[in-house]
Structure 1
């Protein structure tokens, strides 16, 4: 029997009702939400829209931008000053903080494209004010049809306000081969021709723009920042006159990978060195112009910001293959935490199928160190040019990396051509004892995220006895506090409870939420599987997975994000109880069932919802009244 419910705030859990409905609860609620498996139907296409414009608008619709995505886009491309932020939803006690409400999806995909054209979401996206730049590396050679597809993507990005600076490499041309300069120039002109056929203005910049060798003073820089490779080429603001001229004239500059050596000769160098040198040089040139490197700079309403907002690597091989996905691409990479591990787990067979994956990973690491923190890099196959629009508008991977592994394996969107999104990211570490937690910083994080005052005495006292671990992102930019609840009261095995999940508001949209949840997965319900062996300072995949339980108020807008990541949920009054089943146990159960058909309730599932409700109901509030 369950003891009388305990009132908490304005809500009352009703375990008795839960017990009486336990049979139907498992049948009705024990299901993983798989909304990402279903693709929205294509909107109708009216006849009075020009075909090229229609394709462009359809590409925006397929990006499925939320209102938050649109606001982020306008922060970079819209007029200044920025419109006031909408009033955020009321924070909840146990739910994810407002900092992760970036996952709130206010869909912008009505069935009629004519109606959509008049919506504020697409209308605002279609009217960029400030133009930004992107560095693009095209790894040729491509056929004319493939170049046409790539050029279409570049033209669409230009319509959205992102003008590309393109460096063309020829992967099939050995360095030092006879006539290599002529081949590179020819390849550059093919790209220019493909862009112009799609209606863009393009300008070939055939002279060397960068200088071979490290920039003066880089020796000191290298000693200070050894975690990324300093470019082997450099450029000064005065060297960018041709690129600047093309951009201000509304043209897309296209360059071969050439550099001036110490004898002022134009020589071929690795395209990665050219791209990295241009990234650094354009950032420094924009700073010299008096522009703020942050996308939200206060500048004139019209103009061009030279600071690169995106790095795009377009090739035939696609993204970085992942050991966790049997060679399919990584979806989202935290460069600060995962670079070394990606090298360690790179299958030797992938050197043949993805020969430039690791060098492109290093290029992204170097360039993002110079670019604004909100910037990202994307490695994409020429087969997926439309994904560049989704990346620009949402700055998110095509499929979230924090979804359950089984859901990712069955997702039709995950193919060899799925892009890899790379962010500078933050280091992730797992803290096992409260003594090692910086209480001041954790308190500040929780109070900023939840916008409530922490009841410190009660909260720290409970963690002294119940803390399992704390996962921290960066310098307490985000944290997941996990406790062990209910063991002392019931005498049975305690449950693993997600007590707090918080991310600072200023880190919304930079991937911290997904990075933090992936680490939480690896330490709890994903433990014991090979793909949970990530280098986050925790158990690195060794151990036995456990069910993870948490609760959220029914009116919390973040619940949709929770529905997609949980194994199941049950509504109890004004609370929703979520859980993620230990994936090792699910895998074992699935293998045992074989062809015997589905069973709603396994032996180990009987009675656990009732017990969870009882234990969770006893957890006291962490906040002052």
Structure 2
């Protein structure tokens, strides 16, 4: 059980333990890892300022309890277990004080001593994972220092970067091309070491051009193009060696061609090949990992090669969005939005964000091989501290499901706000009960609410009142909207009857994807930015006020408060609503600088009508 302390405090403590643990891990490091920058090159004020910035970056992330648990599940100490029974090789005292006598003799020496998992968890309190990082310059020395400082902070939190360097201004095909690429790689190494990290340049080719043997037999998703590069296990030896030594590998963008020549290639080809190769090698490592007699894996100083994050750091930041007047997308569902982003990409952005679409394609390729919980982030050099927030929460800097007007007025939303990308799920809209897979819907609702659904009465009511259902994936989430008749009006009330996401998909972006689709089909209709590819109305129509209720003690209410236009309390219930945005926008435009009134004519008495209708809606549960 996680102690009930502040989430940020726990993360700070874990990070500081990780920082101290570097001393203990020196036993496993190579001689090269003992390098330290010359004392004269360090500013005496750098250390305390850096530590303070690091802690403040964690606190600014403001992680929730769920975020903290998710972070600790990936990077926290491995679960400890009771000590194994004494063997002929070694006798370990019991972990707790008992009345039983402790063994009197311990072997003087062991031929091959190995730390036990308990000792390993003490020496390595933070479990280290890897991230693929593309550093795409050119950057000035000051800009590069800002970037590498952020990557060093991530290492303290357990995320070790595997960096591929790119510089768009370096000449291609010229005589001094290789030396210029190596020099740029060494700039990144020097900058990392300036901030106290240990880094190793890798200037040999780590990927091979061309298809991988046997990949033609692997079924691919529609429109998915595999990377033009691949690796074999021996190619990853330099990276594995650096990680074992506690060093950050910094890789030059070279690859072996069909004639075994080392040639310069686009960094995207190197990263895509590494993403696939590191995932495959990590899977092979796990299959070959030896286990002790009690079934637990034996201790190993290796880092899990499976990339947990893809980070693309350049001068331009995220992918521009038509819905935000060129400001970046906040969260992208690659499965359902990839093609739509291409179709709505303004040609003028090819000048301001020349690599946005190629980096979008890179994220799609890499995330296809990485675990479903992985994410990619596109960020400019001006927002390196946001990488810590992304690591801890795995969420966008600003939620994409917040009201559009609030996002436009939020000072945090800038041209340099990062874009978070996830593999995501397909999203579709259905409009009849016959199209609902009732078995899957029942499972979703019962798992999400923890109650038993009254099937017959629930679907009988939907037969009469269903407006539409937004479904994410294979019923990983759903939003059910009904038309509830109003006795005092010919227009029915648009009521959000159910909003549910499977527990296994809470925290992976499904909630935001689902709410954005709900917005686009209900109160957001009529705006150009509501024309998302979810199979619904395509943004055409007039938005209607959306109403729903929630138990007053529902922990999700905080999330509802942020996304609703208002709420009122009705005994043990809270009534929420979202105003139809198009109507408000039209009225506001008519009045110019005068703005809207506190209560408009059409709002007179509507709360009473809503409360009366909503209170009479029967329960769906047994």
**TM-score (ref. length: structure 1):** 0.82
Q: Say whether the 8 Å CA contact 2:428–2:472 is kept in structure 1.
A: yes
What CA deviation, in whole Å up to 9, does each residue of 1:389-427 have, x standing for no partner? Answer: 000000000000000000000010000110000000000
- Residue 132 of structure 1 is matched in structure 2 by 129
Q: Say whether the 8 Å CA contact 1:341–1:535 is kept in structure 2.
A: yes
- Residue 194 of structure 2 is matched in structure 1 by 197
Q: 2:268 aligns with which of 263, 272, 279?
A: 272
**What RMSD, in angstroms, separates the aligned Cα atoms of the two structures?**
2.0
Q: Say whether the 8 Å CA contact 1:75–1:82 is kept in structure 2.
A: no
- Residue 570 of structure 1 is matched in structure 2 by 568
User: How far is 1:264 from its partner?
Assistant: 1.1
Q: Gaps (5+ residues) in structure 2? A: 1-44, 82-120, 290-294
What are the residue-to-residue correspondences of 1:388-427 with 2, within 5 Å?
Answer: 388-427=387-426
User: How far is 1:299 from its partner?
Assistant: 5.4
Does residue 1:259 correspond to 2:255, yes or no?
yes
- Residue 90 of structure 1 is matched in structure 2 by none
Q: 2:236 aligns with which of 234, 240, 258?
A: 240
User: How far is 1:50 from its partner?
Assistant: 2.8
Structure 1 moving runs of 4+ over 6 Å: none
User: How far is 1:574 from its partner?
Assistant: 1.3
Structure with more relative contact order (C-alpha pairs < 8 Å, separation 6 or more): 1
Q: Gaps (5+ residues) in structure 1? A: 1-46, 84-123
Q: Say whether the 8 Å CA contact 1:397–1:420 is kept in structure 2.
A: yes
User: How far is 1:298 from its partner?
Assistant: 7.7
Helix, strand or coil: the match of 2:594?
Answer: coil
Q: 2:221 aligns with which of 225, 229, 241?
A: 225
Work out the CA distance in 1 between the residues paired with 2:405 and 2:489.
33
Work out the CA distance in 2 between the residues paired with 1:545 and 1:357.
32
User: How far is 1:301 from its partner?
Assistant: 7.1
Work out the CA distance in 2 between the residues paired with 1:610 and 1:579.
13
Q: Say whether the 8 Å CA contact 2:521–2:539 is kept in structure 1.
A: yes
User: How far is 1:51 from its partner?
Assistant: 2.5
Q: Say whether the 8 Å CA contact 2:588–2:595 is kept in structure 1.
A: no
- Residue 179 of structure 1 is matched in structure 2 by 176
User: How far is 1:317 from its partner?
Assistant: 0.6
Does residue 1:505 correspond to 2:503, yes or no?
yes
Helix, strand or coil: the match of 1:430?
Answer: strand
Q: Say whether the 8 Å CA contact 1:80–1:298 is kept in structure 2.
A: no
Does residue 1:544 correspond to 2:542, yes or no?
yes
User: How far is 1:218 from its partner?
Assistant: 2.3
What are the residue-to-residue correspondences of 1:364-375 with 2, within 5 Å?
Answer: 364-375=363-374
Work out the CA distance in 1 between the residues paired with 2:616 and 2:359.
51
Corresponding pairs, count: 531
- Residue 336 of structure 1 is matched in structure 2 by 335
**TM-score (ref. length: structure 2):** 0.83
Q: Say whether the 8 Å CA contact 1:80–1:300 is kept in structure 2.
A: no
Q: Say whether the 8 Å CA contact 2:126–2:157 is kept in structure 1.
A: no
Q: 1:167 aligns with which of 156, 164, 167?
A: 164
What are the residue-to-residue correspondences of 1:6-405 with 2, within 5 Å?
Answer: 50-81=48-79, 128-221=125-218, 224-290=220-286, 303=301, 304-405=303-404
What CA deviation, in whole Å up to 9, does each residue of 1:556-611 have, x standing for no partner? Answer: 11111111100111111111100000000111122223233552111100111111
- Residue 579 of structure 2 is matched in structure 1 by 581
User: How far is 1:69 from its partner?
Assistant: 0.8
